[in-house]
Amino acid sequence: MPATELFVTSMGVVGDKELLVPTGKQGSTYPHVQDWVTAKLKAKTSVKDISTLVLVKGIKQWAVYEEKSGSKKIRTVFKIT
């Protein structure tokens, strides 16, 4: 299942989940989201799947990963097609 990286904006919290809204821009497309995860692990970057903690508006299937970069947390959102 191909995965396309999305750029999103946080719109607050709905219930106990953070609502993310796509900005319309899309990033890289991978044959499977696991290809991106494998590349991160080979680069010795730890990633955590936080898909159950967020909602992505207008997307039926998504995957969200979080990684630490110094003191910042970087979220990467994928639309699964």
Mean pLDDT of 37-46: 94
Mean pLDDT of 14-31: 94
One-letter amino acid of 5:
E
Q: Where are the beta strands (DSSP E) in the chain?
A: 3-14, 17-30, 47-49, 54-56, 62-69, 72-80
At residue 79 the predicted structure's pLDDT band, cuts being 50, 70 and 90, is: very high
What does the alpha-carbon distance between residue 63 and residue 79 come to, in Å, rounded to a whole number?
Answer: 7
Q: What is the pTM of this model?
A: 0.90
At residue 70 the predicted structure's pLDDT band, cuts being 50, 70 and 90, is: confident
